[in-house]
Amino acid sequence: MPEGPELHLASQFVNEACGALVFGGCVEKSSVSRNPEVPFESSAYRISASARGKELRLILSPLPGAQPPQEPLALVFRFGMSGSFQLVPCEELPRHAHLRFYTAPPGPRLALCFVDVRRFGHWDLGGKWQPGRGPCVLQEYEQFRENVLRNLADKAFDRPICEALLDQRFFNGIGNYLRAEILYRLKIPPFEKARSVLEALQQRRPSPKLTLSQKIKAKLQNPDLLELCHSVPKEVVQLGGKGYGSESGEEDFAAFRAWLRCYGMPGMSSLQDRHGRTIWFQGDPGPLAPKGRKSHKKKSKATQPSPEDRVEDPSRPSKALSRTRRAKRDLPERTATQRPEGSSLQQDPEVPTVPKKGRRKGRQAASGHRRPRKVKADTPSLEPEGTSAS
């Protein structure tokens, strides 16, 4: 899912692609989007963007003499699980373009589209960053560092460091792949207590005997966790392209996939944290690892058996197939209305809450008919927030 670097790259894309374009007319929202209408119309306006953490601000600025007279309008976007901006010809609108800004004539008509396949993304009118989010790890590093170290008494730091890193009140811009890469580089177990990891940084002071160049060199050679929260996202931005993406075969994501060292890589282990998010790591998970859960190690493609190597008894039905059939028979189809309405800044806000699994009690009636199951809508995160946080 999009994290801080992806939002920053998206703002760069909008500014570079739209800097010389003039837009005109109304802003068009798709009929299926639950986001608010954008009450803006102008015969000629420009679009610019900026990013902060996991949010992107779009500013629509009417040109002098544009009709009707209109004040600039700002929108703040959160990308959810799959949001992005695309600039396309009007006759080639993407299927999931939920907000569209059209260029003014003359010239070929283009559309800047907010594309969101999974529809967890959101936009707000007014242009204010979401309250409660901490300073941006990319662009406000000093304030970010101070905010974390000043608030180590907060109960968020009683939790495992992998969970604390998703708390957008303190780590605005960090998400699932970034936390894995940061902890891996420092060899910190993901389920080590966050306060234990961070308290030592309060005492860290460079020797007054070192020159400025020596201090910089020492910092680059031995970065701490908070420094990596700034420098690792910066590396992703410097790669260019689109940053994180799961679409295979796209050249934009090739550099990013080559950059990854831990997240989803062969030989790495994985566990789910208490929010249902998968954390990738190497070695010991740490003392706060969930009890009763086994870590899974990803095999390299070379070690995975090919279809020819798998010998199965054709007389025995596939367990996976039978499980799939049972699931289809027992579970009603989930609708869009069952998605979580709220989110918590204390976990990655753009990520839907994962419902806990439970064993169904009771037996089938003698007639063979199953009793209808009660289906609860997914509940929002336990605590107040803002990002799912991709």
Active site residues: 2-3, 54, 339
In angstroms, the CA 3 to CA 78 distance is 10
How far apart CA 60 and CA 102 sit, in angstroms, is: 12
SS3 assignment, position 204: coil
Q: Strand, coil or helix: what is 160?
A: strand
DSSP 158: G
97: which strand partners? 115
Q: Which two tokens stand for residue 223?
A: 């970065």
**Helix and strand numbers, DSSP H then E, in the chain:** 9, 12
Query: Are residues 381 and 341 in contact, defined by beta-carbon separation less than 8 angstroms?
Result: no
279/178 Cα distance (integer angstroms): 10
Q: Is 320 helix (H, G, I), strand (E, B) or coil?
A: helix
Question: 84 with 49: CB under 8 angstroms?
Answer: no
For residue 116, what are the β-bridge partners? 83
Backbone phi, then psi, for 152, in 5-degree steps?
-65, -15
Are 272 and 290 contacting, i.e. CB atoms less than 8 angstroms apart? Answer: yes
Other Cβ atoms less than 10 A from the Cβ of 22: the count is 17
Contact 162, 172 (CB under 8 A): no
Q: How far apart are CA 267 and CA 119, in angstroms?
A: 33
**Whole-angstrom distance, CA of residue 354 vs CA of residue 380:** 9
Give the C-alpha separation, 227 to 225, whole Å: 5
Q: How far apart are CA 352 and CA 124, in angstroms?
A: 19
- What does the alpha-carbon distance between residue 378 and residue 336 come to, in Å, rounded to a whole number? 11
Instruction: Give the contacts of 187 (CB within 8 A, at least 6 positions apart).
Output: 282, 283
